[in-house]
Amino acid sequence: MRENTLKRRLAAGETVFGSWLSLPDAVAAEAMAVLGWDWLLVDMEHGPAALTEAAAMLAALRTTEVTTIVRPAWNASSAIQPALDLGFAGMVVPVVNTADDARKVVSDARFPPLGERSRGGVRTNLAFRTDAMTYFERANDEILLLVQIETAEAVENLEAILAVEGVDGIFLGPNDLAASTGKRWPDAWSDEAYLALIRRVIETTSRARKFAGFLARDPAMAKQVVDLGYRFVGISGDVNFMTAAAKRALDEARAAIG
């Protein structure tokens, strides 16, 4: 069975870098994958990718060495189980504010005895290069399961969330956390009270001996959060990279022509 080397690297203390895929296109996903990212996340919450498009993107990503992650549209069985059945190696689940929310994630994303995920489908076997029963027996260990911490309520309940068996760690959503605390983004990054929450999250997660992720706007912010202890680090996303490069080229052309 294909092993989740990313999960093993995290367990060994490594820092891994990834990015967001919001464009619902297999070629765009593959173009990002060959750049050398450790992981790439197909965003089905705020991105427009439907299940069939996510399946095509995953098939393209599987031709490379990148580890495939998905964010389902919601913390719901109808979103979590179909996304996992495509064969993704990891999942970041939104809308987790309490330990009960985290237990719901585990129930939907883990097979018995940890959860109640249903067996079935064929794409998981293809993605993990194995048979159905081997996937069932090993998926709980191989799939990286992170829950999003993106509200003040979630930060308050973080210790209880991390104590839920089956949750490998958390992924901090800096934009929504800023909104939850009444702050603008990215202005919040210079606000000491907000930064105290960022430090509190990593300190609590580290004490629980679990993984912590963060979506940084740029490499400079990525360096800051890695210095704090975040090790599953995202840097921007495909749309931002495309538009920034296009805008720079346009501006340079106009400046050169005068």
Residues acting as catalytic residues? 46
What separation in angstroms does the CA of 177 have from each of 75, 150, 203? 17, 4, 17
CB atoms within 10 A of CB 76: 14
For residues 247 and 245, give the distance between their C-alpha atoms in angstroms, rounded to a whole number: 6
Question: Which candidate, 4, 69, 78, places its Cα nearest to that of 43?
Answer: 69
Question: Which of the 8 DSSP states describes residue 119?
Answer: P
Is the sign of the CA dihedral 134, 139, 142, 143 positive or negative? positive
Structure tokens at 47: 């991105």
Question: Which candidate, 219, 246, 237, places its Cα nearest to that of 15?
Answer: 219
Angle, helix 51-61 to helix 77-84, in steps of 10 degrees: 30
Contact indicator for 220, 226 with CB cutoff of 8 Å: no
Question: Which candidate, 145, 82, 79, places its Cα nearest to that of 110?
Answer: 145
Please provide the distance, in angstroms rounded to a whole number, between the alpha carbons at the two ends of the chain: 59
CB atoms within 10 A of CB 121: 16
